[in-house]
A and B are shown apart, each in its own frame.
Chain A
């Protein structure tokens, strides 16, 4: 029986515009109040123990506001957040004891050493033995640099220190908001490997917000895509892959192949707009081998048959790139709102 660790129910946040001029930015203005901006609109999601949950959305979609509400930084206008069974509104301390998080960039006291930062942040959660700090420093690979001031750390080291600060209270759930933002490719790989290790070896539940869709594809088992404050797609990544990942097929008779697939399997096959193959096919649960056998059996020479690469990118762009969404987006936390 899956055990929910983070439950978000009907979560909404309406900000009031601070200045009239900001109305020009667009956004989802409330019907009754022209100065109200709906940053998050009735979001529902559940992260179960053991999940690595990817939370996706374009800039200004409401991801950060949702995460801030899930951590008690922003008070929701309506809705409820429960962490480990504790209601954040009524039992904030017990709820937050279950979580390690960083929101946007990990923030530290730059004039203190990495180790001192870890000690003081962890000290807010409880009694932290030195051995635990040492263990965490080793885990994130900061051994040897922990006594240096944070202001000499690279972005990558700060990100690792941020993850160490999340891990120190030994949380059950880790919430990471854009953990690889601003990192170079090496840094991105390091952090990705670290998260993967924590999730797979240490069994941590991770809620990850990211723009990097291949990162999400590599790490996550479930995702939600948020757009203009609402979730527009949510599910298990393997199930979404079955229903949304297309096949690229190259045959010597593309039109006949398309007709055959349409007729026999009732699946849509259309010309590949990238011209990397002759057909793009949504298999609708049919196995690749099954389609291949049908085409070959009908005498079509199948030269290429492979799942579409970067399908999540394509799906994300299809779902989030519309005329309407590109001109108006929900405000990010802190943007000319009160």
Chain B
């Protein structure tokens, strides 16, 4: 037999590991399911927007002294995209990210491939950080794909134009209407997508942390989603107002600020700092726990 294989340098090792994770991610059929689901859901949204006459919305706008005669006056590709982002970014994407993250550690532990990796000379820290890097890329790909589909297919069906939004739909109880000129909208959507990705990365870090603690993928994503939805629900309880600014879910939704007439950059910075702190905390805890984890599966 030939002699032993040549050891990799630190950087080569990281790149090799990321390539390895990418190969697995690409090969897994479930990786592509969210893209298919998002495509189908966007198609469904387009149908709904074609079908609806938006008479109630026209009346609400009227209450704010904005008089539209028909939906053609304000419904365009940007309007469809902005108003579809809420359910997609609050519900669908967190589910996809949690499932993908759950499969990364607990899923591999369940399948036995985690122990096959850990008996190789690869630092555990590199393993979990590599997984996080891939999950971050996956989150970015999903967010940008969704935005591209929403905006692109929206524009193809309903054209472009200025974006009118009812603030209450986006800004936690604030009233009024925001109008963002069409020229600014591509940048606004890109910014919203990047902010949403940051939120998804925090969720991915939380999912990795939970995935390090439990032995099955199902347990990992059910727990992650339970925490996420429980915190989302807490936000609606008036007696927990004081807690609201500290919850990571609050800051995960800060992308909504991008559809304010005047973006409050200060609030966005605050949210970015919060998200970064949560990210570091979740990821550090995940690394610490994973390094101490006994792999018994």
Supposing A74-B295, A103-B119, A120-B24 touch, asked if A108 and B5 sit within 8 A by C-beta, the answer is no
Q: Mark A121-132, 1 if CB is under 8 A from B, else 0.
A: 111111110011
Query: Considering the chains assembled together, what is the distance between the CA atoms of A107 and B122 in angstroms?
Result: 17
Neighbouring A residues of B12 by C-beta, 8 Å: 127
The answer to whether A127 and B6 have CB atoms under 8 Å apart is yes
Interface residues of A in 270-313 (CB under 8 A from B): none
The answer to whether B113 and A107 have CB atoms under 8 Å apart is yes
The answer to whether A169 and B5 have CB atoms under 8 Å apart is yes
Query: Considering the chains assembled together, what is the distance between the CA atoms of A60 and B111 in angstroms?
Result: 21
The answer to whether A122 and B119 have CB atoms under 8 Å apart is no
A-B interface contact total, Cβ < 8 Å = 117
Closest to B16 in A: A123
Q: Which bracket fits the contact residues of A?
A: 35 or more
Q: Confirm or deny: B112 has a beta carbon within 8 angstroms of a beta carbon on chain A.
A: yes
Q: How far is the CB of A73 from chain B (nearest CB, A)?
A: 4
Q: How far is the CB of A281 from chain B (nearest CB, A)?
A: 45
Neighbouring B residues of A122 by C-beta, 8 Å: 5
Neighbouring B residues of A116 by C-beta, 8 Å: 23, 27
The answer to whether A97 and B7 have CB atoms under 8 Å apart is yes
Q: Confirm or deny: A249 has a beta carbon within 8 angstroms of a beta carbon on chain B.
A: no
Q: How far is the CB of B111 from chain A (nearest CB, A)?
A: 6
Q: Confirm or deny: A208 has a beta carbon within 8 angstroms of a beta carbon on chain B.
A: no
Supposing A111-B28, A111-B29 touch, asked if A165 and B1 sit within 8 A by C-beta, the answer is no
Interface-centre pick from B6, B24, B120, B292 (highest chain A CB count, 10 A): B120
Q: Which bracket fits the contact residues of B?
A: 35 or more
Q: Mark B1-28, 1 if CB is under 8 A from A, else 0.
A: 1111111100010001101100110011
Query: Considering the chains assembled together, what is the distance between the CA atoms of A167 and B28 in angstroms?
Result: 26
The answer to whether A124 and B294 have CB atoms under 8 Å apart is no
Q: How far is the CB of A335 from chain B (nearest CB, A)?
A: 8
Closest to B123 in A: A93
Supposing A73-B294, A107-B113 touch, asked if A170 and B5 sit within 8 A by C-beta, the answer is yes
Neighbouring B residues of A127 by C-beta, 8 Å: 5-8, 12
Q: Confirm or deny: A106 has a beta carbon within 8 angstroms of a beta carbon on chain B.
A: yes
Query: Considering the chains assembled together, what is the distance between the CA atoms of A97 and B4 in angstroms?
Result: 9
Interface residues of A in 132-160 (CB under 8 A from B): 132, 135, 139
The answer to whether B5 and A125 have CB atoms under 8 Å apart is yes
Q: Confirm or deny: A324 has a beta carbon within 8 angstroms of a beta carbon on chain B.
A: no
Neighbouring B residues of A167 by C-beta, 8 Å: 1
Q: Confirm or deny: A71 has a beta carbon within 8 angstroms of a beta carbon on chain B.
A: yes
Q: How far is the CB of B287 from chain A (nearest CB, A)?
A: 15
Interface residues of A in 227-254 (CB under 8 A from B): none
Query: Considering the chains assembled together, what is the distance between the CA atoms of A112 and B24 in angstroms?
Result: 8
Q: Confirm or deny: A96 has a beta carbon within 8 angstroms of a beta carbon on chain B.
A: yes
The answer to whether A94 and B3 have CB atoms under 8 Å apart is no
- Name B3's contact: one of A71, A102, A170 (CB within 8 Å): A170
Jot down 19 A-B pairs with beta carbons below 8 A, ordered by A.
A96-B119, A97-B4, A103-B115, A103-B119, A106-B116, A108-B113, A109-B27, A126-B6, A126-B7, A127-B6, A128-B5, A132-B5, A135-B2, A139-B1, A168-B5, A169-B120, A170-B1, A170-B3, A333-B296
Given A74-B295, A103-B115, 19 additional A-B pairs, CB 8 A: A73-B296, A74-B294, A74-B296, A92-B123, A96-B120, A106-B116, A107-B112, A107-B116, A109-B24, A112-B27, A120-B20, A120-B24, A124-B117, A127-B7, A128-B5, A170-B2, A170-B5, A171-B4, A333-B294
Nearest 5 A/B pairs, CB to CB: A107-B112, A334-B296, A126-B5, A124-B120, A333-B296
Q: Which residues of B does A touch, CB under 8 Å? A: 1-8, 12, 16-17, 19-20, 23-24, 27-29, 111-113, 115-123, 215, 292, 294-297
